[in-house]
Amino acid sequence: MNQLNASIDLLRELIACPTVSADSNLDMMAILANRLEDAGARVQILSDESGTKANMFATIGPEQEGGLVLSGHSDVVPVTDQPWSSDPFDMVEHDGALYGRGTCDMKGFIACAVTMAERYAQRDLSRPVHFAFTYDEEVGCLGGQALVDALRAQGVRPDMAIVGEPTSMRIIEGHKGCCEYTAHFRGLEGHGSAPDRGVNAAEYATRYVSKLLELREELKTRVPSGSRFDPPWTTINVGRIHGGSAHNVIASLAEVDWEMRPVQWGDADFVKGEMSAFVDQVLRPAMQAVDPNADIWTDVIGEVAGLEPMEENAARDLVAKLTGANGADLVAFGTEAGLFQSLGTHVVVCGPGSIEQAHMADEFITVEQMDACLKMLDRVV
| Residues carrying an active site annotation | 75, 137
* Measured distance CA(44)–CA(187) in Å, rounded: 47
* Measured distance CA(363)–CA(370) in Å, rounded: 15
CA angle, corner 308, sides to 59 and 63, nearest 5?
15
Torsion of CA 23, 27, 28, 34, to 10 degrees: 160
For residues 112 and 353, is the Cβ–Cβ distance under 8 A? no
DSSP-assigned letters across all residues of 70-109: EEEE--B---TT---SS-TTS-EEETTEEESTTIIIIIHH
* Measured distance CA(97)–CA(104) in Å, rounded: 11
* Measured distance CA(121)–CA(43) in Å, rounded: 14
DSSP-assigned letters across all residues of 338-353: HHHHTTT-EEEE--SS
Q: Compute the half-sphere exposure of residue 17: CA atoms within 13 Å on the CB side of its CA.
A: 21
Evaluated on CA atoms 315, 319, 320, 322, the torsion sign reads positive
* Measured distance CA(254)–CA(281) in Å, rounded: 20
For residues 59 and 67, is the Cβ–Cβ distance under 8 A? yes
